[in-house]
Structure 1
Amino acid sequence: MKRTGIVIAALGTTVLTSTVVVAPSAYAAPPTPPGKAVSAKHLSALRVAKEGSLTGYDRRKFPHWSTVKGACNTRETVLKRDGSNVRVNAKCAAISGTWKSPYDGATWRKASDVDIDHMVALAEAWRSGARSWTTKQRTAFANDRASSQLWAVTDNVNQAKGDKDPAKWLPPRASFRCMYARSWIDVKWRYKLTVDTAEKKALTRLLRSC
């Protein structure tokens, strides 16, 4: 990234105002998950179990968005990572840029139209084993930028997804479904979360179509 400053000359004095950060012009994405063959092995290694209860669940038990650096938190960092020509103000909030949602292919020019989606939703993680984690583990999960867990997507598409697994919801953009399945498996495998029978069948079917 490069930094640019807005400079104003007044009465022979140069005043440096708020600094903005410009993200790379090309669209970026989360780290790429393993390919089809490795994903299939990881899926077969996941323990199959009936989904647990949401009893005791609260989003506040998964603290997010954590500070990454300076004024920037996880959400703001992912917005810069996944966008094109993203500019932020001194508080790290995106003030301009372009985002292409992989879930539906839509392009947005306002950060308010974009959500940062947890590939494996927090409630889904809770039902799949995260209820036994420590707060530190849940914080790491909710802010994980090193895996395929966080994606910048169209807000209402994210809302439609909610906490559903791939047996109950898939991205409307069919060409992304293979990547979606690989990413979902990658997150569940990394965090040793369980899958239910219908979820595993849906993921197996999706991998076959990759």
Structure 2
Amino acid sequence: MERQTRVPGVVLAASLLLAVAGCAGGGGAGDDGRPTARASIPASPSAPQSASPSASAPGDDGKPAAGDVLPGMVSAAVARTQLAALKVAEPGTMAGYSRAKFTHWAEQGDKCDTREVVLKRDGTDVTRDSECRAVSGKWTSLYDGVAVGEASKMDIDHMVPLAEGWRSGAAGWDAAKRKAFANDLTNPQLLAVTASSNRSKGDQSPDLWQPPAKSSWCQYGRAWTTVKSTYGLTVTEPEKKMLGTMLDTCTP
């Protein structure tokens, strides 16, 4: 999702709907996609863990705790503490960026890759074929509240897009840490959303794009902040301000 200029978060309908499901290529493309070959993910991702305690954790079935659709969520109070501690910096250059530098979707066992694991986790009544591909199920997209009954209409979004991660610190990571970031099933980094909302978001930060369903802002702000805190990524001043606005929508 290479971005040449940071533009307001509006739906670039004609060009974005023609983009392939993936971050590679031009600015604003969606954040979903499948690799031509699956790769195994390290047993212990080399990602720094936030010192802040989580308010909830995924259940044994991989589902998020009650009240949230994302795993590894923290309370609004913890998220505000994380946000205050984030380093503020101007976005880095996109020089050298390639989606291929963030290996995805990694093999997760039983012929399933990260994408299929998230589709199963975020849906209900999901059935799979012999290759672990979701063939039926029901999903409700956090970003726009749309209910979907076809897996092909869902994308797996990186909460903090790969290109945004690159601009805010991932350019200096090694391959193992980028792979962990792109396949993180523990922190609130991956979720199934409608393809249209994912491609509307592209690689934009919260100051430039917000989920159209304002009811999702509390979760979105907590998730984005937690991911940036966990991986030691930077934020811009406008991004930090908008994240604060999103956290202010959380009920006490």
Aligned length: 187
TM norm structure 2:
0.72
Once residues 150 and 232 of structure 2 are traced to their aligned partners in structure 1, the CA distance between those partners, rounded to angstroms, is: 36
TM-score by length of 1: 0.86
* Aligned residue in 2 for 1:107: 147
Contact kept? 2:68, 2:219, Cα under 8 Å: no
Aligned partner (choices 108, 113, 137) of residue 68 of structure 1: 108
Mapped to 2, the partners of 1:209 and 1:151 lie a distance apart of 21
Q: CA deviation at 1:60?
A: 0.2
Structure 1: gaps of 5 or more residues: 1-22
Shift of 1:29: 3.0
The answer as to whether partners of 1:27 and 1:100 remain within 8 angstroms in 2 is no
CA contact (8 A) 2:72 2:186 kept: no
> Of 235, 243, 247, which aligns to 1:195?
235
Tell me by how many angstroms 1:208 deviates: 2.0
Write the distance in 1 (CA, Å) between the matches of 2:246 and 2:211.
Answer: 12
SS class of match (1:148): coil
Q: Distance in 2 between matches of 1:47 and 1:32?
A: 22
| Alignment partner, residue 182 of structure 1 | 222
2:175 to 121, 129, 135: 135
Q: For each residue in 1:49-82, what CA deviation from the matched residue of structure 2 results, as whole angstroms up to 9, or x when unmatched? A: 0000111100000010000012000000000000
Instruction: Compare the two structures and name the one with the higher strand fraction.
Output: 1
Query: Could you tell me which residue of structure 1 aligns to residue 244 of structure 2?
Result: 204
Q: Distance in 1 between matches of 2:227 and 2:246?
A: 16
Distance 1:203 1:116 in 2: 22
Q: Is the contact made by 1:27 and 1:83 (CA closer than 8 Å) also made in structure 2?
A: no
**Does residue 54 of structure 1 match 2:94?**
yes
Distance, in Å, in 1 between the alignment partners of 2:67 and 2:223 is: 18
- Structure 2 Cα separation of the partners of residues 31 and 76 of structure 1: 16
User: Residue 160 and residue 147 in structure 1: after superposition, are their counterparts in 2 closer, same or farther (change >3 A)?
Assistant: same
Q: Tell me the residue number matched to 1:86.
A: 126
In the aligned structure 2, how far is the partner of 1:28 from the partner of 1:85?
A: 19
Greater Rg by CA:
1
User: Does the residue aligned with 1:51 lie in a helix, a strand or coil?
Assistant: coil
Q: Could you tell me how far apart the structure 2 residues matched to 1:174 and 1:137 are?
A: 32
Q: For 1:96-128, what per-residue CA distance to the aligned partner results, in whole angstroms no more than 9, with x for missing partners?
A: 111110111101111110000000000000000
1:209 Cα deviation after fit: 2.6
Counterpart CA distance in 1 for 2:107 and 2:67 is 23
In the alignment, what sits opposite 1:156? 196
SS in 1 for 2:186: coil
Using the TM superposition, give the Cα deviation of residue 192 of structure 1 relative to its aligned residue in structure 2, in angstroms: 0.3
Q: RMSD of the TM alignment (CA)? A: 1.7
Q: Say if 2:126 and 2:138, in contact at 8 Å, map to a contact too.
A: yes
Percent of residue pairs bearing the same amino acid type: 48
